[in-house]
A = this chain, B = another copy of it.
Amino acid sequence: MNIPQTSFPRVVIIGGGFAGLAAAKGLEKQELQVVLLDKHNYHTFQPLLYQVATGGLEPDSIAFPLRKRFNDVDNFYFRLAEVDKINTDTNTIETSIGNLEYDELIIATGSTTNFFGNTNIQKYAMEMKSVPQSLNIRSLILENFEEALLTSNYEERKALMNFVIVGGGPTGVELAGALAEMKKGILPKDYPDLDIRQMQINLIQSSGEILKGMSSQASEKAEDFLIKLGVNVWKNLRVLDYDGKTVTTNGEDHFKAETVIWAAGVKGQTIDGLEAECVIERAARIKVNEYNQVLNYTNIYAIGDVACMSNEKNPYGHPMMAQPAIQQGKLVAKNIIAKLFNKELKPFVYNDKGSMATIGRNKAVVDLPKWKFQGIFAWFVWMFVHLFSLIGFRNRAIVFLNWVYNYIRFDRETRLIIRPFKKKNFYSFKD
């Protein structure tokens, strides 16, 4: 890998998402060598992927080149690599670009879509965990509309204009809302020769409420917003299968749809090599102690989505969201530095700052620890928080400009099929 061996201990971080980035930042300017590995050369701001998928933002504005963030940091190395295996006995990792020894290892590999073993759904449904995947969804939506124009077969046209989103978490809700706004403001203008009433947006949730992690107030209001926007919200309905044509469920409803977006579950992106007992099966996350140390190891940490730190308050680990990831990343950096100076480690305590989701124009729900509110003010809070969480002045400025433009013009202008999905059989390049 061509990384020099120095007298400083080497900290290897796998993954440049929220958790890994926070850890890397926290380790700057120490007597340490930091190596950050990621399979992309950029950090992805995942909360806004749904806007890339629905033509509201360009991908470049929510991604940030990882090398640039650490341009001025000494003793920092970035490598574009995928990690295959950890050899805990020799303290090395095996990667797509060779092996590397570590003194301290931070696993921040995040999460991936969980299809719960259904290979049909995995094959035919779309996922939205990365920039390329979001661009695939954007292409597919528009390609389906182009195709719907051409057919005089009513059933076929309806299937092309039927969008099924499985999973009523923040991703599903935000995507359904954005699609509903496309239906309202943009698609009727772009496709005047289609009867837009034939477009259906179905959001399917297996339990009795959407936005399960949030307050019932937020959940009910979000559902209300979605229904007003024309989304069909299906609760207590479980998707059983999708063969590329028809979504079958455990109820009497089934859906003939060319587009199914699977947002019904994530699981930890684990790596081979940790002893089997470390990994607990619920969502395949790695079990860690209160210092984010992987069980049985003192120099291997797991942070963010991939880590499962269970305690009384969070028996199944912390929510797989940005906030716990960032907080764990910061703390693990502090603890590694503390170790360097033989100081005591601090246990992780999750500071729940609240959560929020946006449904559409002037429509969002916010749960703060002591205050819950919904509607236009919530929407402005949502925008403000997301804008300032982006990395880089340029990205913030461009997202802001897009949002102002989209708000004033009721538009989403980046509806370009830059990388055709259907035609070129990109099904084999789904990520």
Residues of A within 8 A of B (CB): 1-2, 40-42, 58-61, 63-65, 67-68, 71-72, 77, 79-80, 97-98, 131-132, 135, 142-143, 146, 149-152, 189-191, 193, 392-395, 397-398, 401-402, 405, 411, 413-419, 424, 429
Contact = CB atoms under 8 A, between A and B. Distances in A.
Contact of A77 (B1, B193, B419): B193
User: Which of A68, A149, A413 neighbours the largest number of chain B CB atoms within 10 Å of its CB?
Assistant: A413
A57 to B, nearest CB: 8
Contacts of A397: 401, 405
Nearest to A52: B60
Contact of A401 (B143, B149, B398, B429): B398
B65 A413 contact: yes
21 contacts: A1-B150, A2-B152, A40-B417, A41-B146, A41-B415, A42-B418, A58-B58, A58-B61, A60-B60, A60-B413, A60-B414, A65-B413, A65-B416, A68-B190, A68-B413, A79-B150, A131-B418, A135-B418, A393-B405, A394-B402, A397-B401
A132 B418 contact: yes
Given A60-B413, A424-B429, 13 more contacts: A1-B150, A2-B149, A2-B150, A41-B416, A42-B418, A64-B413, A65-B416, A80-B417, A131-B416, A132-B419, A395-B413, A398-B398, A419-B419
Nearest to A429: B424
Nearest to A58: B60
B41 A2 contact: no
* Chain A at the B interface: SS class: mixed
A107 to B, nearest CB: 22
Contacts of A80: 143, 146, 417
A68 B416 CA distance: 11
Nearest to A416: B42
A77 B151 CA distance: 15
User: Which of A64, A149, A191 neighbours the largest number of chain B CB atoms within 10 Å of its CB?
Assistant: A149
Contacts of A190: 65, 67-68, 71
Contacts of A413: 60, 64-65, 68, 392, 394-395
A63 to B, nearest CB: 5
A414 B429 CA distance: 22
A393 B392 CA distance: 23
A398 B57 CA distance: 11
Contacts of A59: 58, 60, 416, 418
Contacts of A418: 42, 59-60, 63, 131-132, 135
A2 B193 contact: yes
A79 B77 CA distance: 48
Contacts of A67: 190-191
User: Which of A77, A190, A193 neighbours the largest number of chain B CB atoms within 10 Å of its CB?
Assistant: A190
A21 to B, nearest CB: 15
A40 B142 CA distance: 11
Contacts of A131: 416, 418
A80 B422 CA distance: 13
B98 A41 contact: no
